[in-house]
Amino acid sequence: MQLRYSFRLYPSAGQRSALARALGCARVVFNDALRVREEARAAGLGFVTSAELSKNLTAAKKTPERAWLGEVSSVVLQQSLRDLDAAYRNFFDGLKGKRPRMGAPRFKSKRDNRQSLRFTANAAWRITVGGKLRLPKIGDVPVKWSRTLPSAPSTVTVVKDSAGRYFASFVVETDPAADLDHMPATDAVVGVDLGLTHFAVLSDGTKVDSPQFLRRAEKKLKKAQQTLSRKEKGSSNRNKARHKVARAHARVTDARREFHHRLSTRLIRENQAIAVEDLCVKGLARTRLAKSVHDAGWSAFVTMLEYKAARYGRQFHRIDRFEPTSQVCSVCGVKDGPKPLNVRAWTCGACGAVLDRDINAAVNVAKAAGLAATACGAQVRRAPVPAQRSEAGTHPKQPTRLVREQAGIPGL
């Protein structure tokens, strides 16, 4: 099973300059290769292969215009070409229906919100005995190790976000049997109804309030944005103000992600099977509730539930979005039609049961998944789990030789 571990990096001023140089070189190589393929397509020529692009890169290093590409690790530049190949492959697979459609590769900008570069084992990167990350032509970068790595990684991806923070991302292989010891089997099952007033309502009657992280931070965000708008374009003060706005938004994002992780882990630990409704988030995001829908982050939460269920041997069910969970009485099963959103409780005309709208929907979600009859004590077969955090530039590869001197990783 592959899992991704991300750790915060704290590079010095010189190391930040070296990282900026490496990110810029990787961006230029990506754009140059994309331009070559686009020009060949416009001229009616064949698709330029990766081997030809690699030869062009080697030749470009010998020219005065691109001689500075030799100042960074060559592995970073080659991985940038692999990123372009992956972008084209995903685009063509979308056209063939093998995956959801996505746009054609686009040119990168130094103003992109997220930039990344990848070091493979060939770059001879390693983790020092002191716990620092040694990167070629960059130096030993301090790392904040929040947890231990379960095994020695072969690649590391350095990511810079819009707030100017740096992260080291490792994709490692883990032993699935070891995860089962942390989550013993249980007979409990639960249906989850997601909403805005309450972030989640469980079929056992538990209601989890919506934290509304963005709403609570709107005052600070508004003030920071107003300060940014008053700065002169192109000035250093405007750049500082822009980073303050980005850091404010990053704090909101981090708080929301922490809340999702805590709640999803709790549900996985306490229940053997979980059912959720497949909400049309894109459609809801086009309504007047768009800000609240994005603030809730339902898609990210459901994705966490799905990969954690597969990791720890739990059952996960998605209920069709057209299932009338709010129209059916969970006691007698009579469907009495749709109800406006202001009706939060009603009495069933058939059996006389007094129903809470959200709890009734959560119970119906569990029943639609068949949990009430079959999930108790069920033995669940583990499914393949991808890395849980999507990241441009990380691709599956054949196992390579282990990174030298990995014994310095804390906990290994």
278 has catalytic annotation: no
277 has catalytic annotation: yes
Using the 8-state DSSP alphabet, how is residue 83 labeled? H
Chain centroid to CA 138: 27
Residue of 58, 169, 69 lying closest to 115 (CA atoms): 169
Residue found by looking up tokens 């716990």 in the block: 131
Contact 35, 43 (CB under 8 A): no
- Give the dihedral of Cα atoms 175, 181, 187, 188; nearest 10 deg: -80
Residue 303, both tokens: 């994705």
- Which is catalytic among the residues 32, 179, 277, 295? 277
* Helix/strand/coil for 35: helix
- Which is catalytic among the residues 83, 179, 295, 358? 358
Can you state the percent helix, strand and coil of the chain, rounding each to 5? 40, 15, 40
Work out the angle at residue 65's Cα, subtended by the Cα atoms of residues 62 and 69, and round it to the nearest 5 degrees.
60
Question: C-alpha distances in angstroms, 261 versus 166, 306, 307?
Answer: 21, 12, 11
- Which is catalytic among the residues 32, 193, 295, 306? 193
Determine the Cα–Cα distance for residues 167 and 150; give it in Å rounded to an integer: 18
358 has catalytic annotation: yes
CB < 8 Å & 24+ apart, contacts of 107-115: 107/30, 107/31, 107/34, 107/35, 108/27, 108/30, 108/31, 109/27, 110/23, 110/24, 110/27, 113/161, 113/162, 114/159, 114/160, 114/161, 114/162, 114/392, 115/23, 115/27, 115/159, 115/160
* Helix/strand/coil for 66: helix
Plot region of 313 (φ>0 → left; ψ -120 to 50 → alpha; else → beta): left
Q: What is the CA radius of gyration of the chain?
A: 25
Residue numbers annotated as active site: 193, 277, 358
